[in-house]
């Protein structure tokens, strides 16, 4: 019998198994922790008020270019299926600094406790709809989540279509649906700011009920990944709440659905 996703957060043994399974699963789609952590360092520099404006924008442009670059070229592919040009790096950078200035790295708001700013968060998320034009009227969840993740990985989780949407949430659909109905009814699976907010809310719920050493175990696991080199990073791995949420969800899917492969 497959385990509840909550068990992977509430049990240290199950969390460790999920993280091992996450590695095995993501190896098939270019697992590269060091690249992501490098972008976290770039983000800390780009959004540091003490950094000169020109240097900060130059650093953010490196993040933006990597996000836009197609996966086959080593990027994150956020421009896929766009019906028009994305916001420029400059416009995106200025918007993030202005609209999310109260949600910085190392600030008082993170994925565990963001519920108190839900109303203002939804308003800010809605303003980003034109970041990536789509032929449909949908909000570009995938692209915006990735941009926001590299603004603050303590708060904003990545929501991608291939893994989170098509695998993780379908595997744990009933648990996610039950949470959403209690958290923010009515239920729907449409790409909207509310849906992404609900996905964040599920993270807050799961992390809030996690075992006492959850983030410590995650940081210990992250430190062992090739190229992690946490001692030289400019962030605290124990505060990467959104990253820990994402990787544990993926590992929970892999362990429960794919037979574990986590030995």
3-state SS, one letter per residue, for 207-259:
HHCCCCCHHHHHHHHHHCCCCCCHHHCCCCHHHCHHHHHHHHHHHHHHHHHCC
Whole-number Å distance between alpha carbons of 56 and 62: 10
Residue 10 forms part of a structural domain? yes
pLDDT digit of tens for each residue in the chain (263 aa)?
Answer: 468 999 999 999 999 999 999 998 888 565 678 899 999 999 999 999 999 999 999 999 999 999 999 988 989 999 999 999 999 999 999 999 999 999 999 999 999 999 889 899 999 999 999 999 999 989 999 999 999 999 999 999 999 999 999 999 999 999 999 999 998 887 888 999 999 999 999 999 999 999 999 999 999 999 999 899 999 999 999 999 999 999 999 999 999 876 544 43
User: What six digits make up the tokens of 197?
Assistant: 């907010």
| pLDDT value at residue 187 | 83
Phi, psi angles (nearest 5°) of residue 198: -65, -40
Q: Give Cβ neighbours of residue 14 (< 8 Å, ≥ 6 apart).
A: 3, 7, 8, 255
Whole-number Å distance between alpha carbons of 210 and 112: 11
Q: Name the domain count of the chain.
A: 1
154 near 103, Cβ under 8 Å?
no
Cis peptide before 186 (omega within 30 of 0): yes
Indicate the length of the chain as a whole number.
263
Residue 262 forms part of a structural domain? no
| pLDDT value at residue 185 | 81
Cβ burial of 177 (10 Å; 0-12, 13-18, 19+) is middle
Q: Which residues constitute the domain of residue 87?
A: 5-257
Whole-number Å distance between alpha carbons of 243 and 152: 10
137 near 129, Cβ under 8 Å?
no
Residue 263 forms part of a structural domain? no
150 near 40, Cβ under 8 Å?
yes
Whole-number Å distance between alpha carbons of 82 and 76: 14
Residue 248 forms part of a structural domain? yes
| pLDDT value at residue 231 | 94
CA dihedral 93, 66, 241, 32 (to 10 degrees): -170
């Amino acid at each position: 019998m497959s385990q509840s996703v909550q068990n992977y957060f509430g049990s240290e043994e199950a969390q460790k198994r999920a993280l091992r399974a996450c590695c095995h699963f993501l190896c098939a789609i270019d697992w590269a922790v060091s690249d992501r952590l490098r972008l976290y360092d770039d983000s800390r520099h780009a959004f540091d008020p003490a950094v000169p404006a020109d240097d900060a924008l130059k650093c953010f442009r490196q993040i933006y270019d990597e996000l836009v670059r197609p996966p086959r070229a080593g990027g994150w592919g956020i421009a896929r299926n766009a019906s028009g040009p994305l916001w420029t790096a400059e416009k995106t950078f200025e918007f993030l600094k202005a609209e999310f200035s109260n949600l910085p790295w190392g600030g008082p708001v993170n994925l565990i406790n963001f519920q108190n700013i839900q109303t203002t968060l939804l308003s800010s998320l809605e303003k980003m709809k034109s970041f990536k034009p789509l032929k449909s009227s949908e909000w570009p969840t995938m692209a915006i989540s990735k941009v926001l993740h590299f603004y603050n990985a303590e708060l904003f989780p990545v929501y991608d279509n291939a893994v989170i949407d098509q695998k993780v949430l379908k595997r744990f659909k009933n648990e996610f649906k039950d949470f959403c109905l209690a958290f923010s009814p009515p239920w729907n699976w449409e790409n909207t700011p509310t849906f992404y907010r609900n996905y964040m809310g599920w993270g807050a719920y799961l992390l809030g009920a996690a075992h006492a050493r959850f983030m410590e175990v995650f940081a210990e696991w992250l430190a062992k990944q090739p190229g992690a080199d946490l001692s030289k990073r400019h962030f605290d791995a124990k505060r990467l709440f959104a990253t820990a949420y994402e990787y544990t969800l993926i590992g929970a899917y892999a362990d429960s659905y794919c037979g574990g492969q986590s030995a």
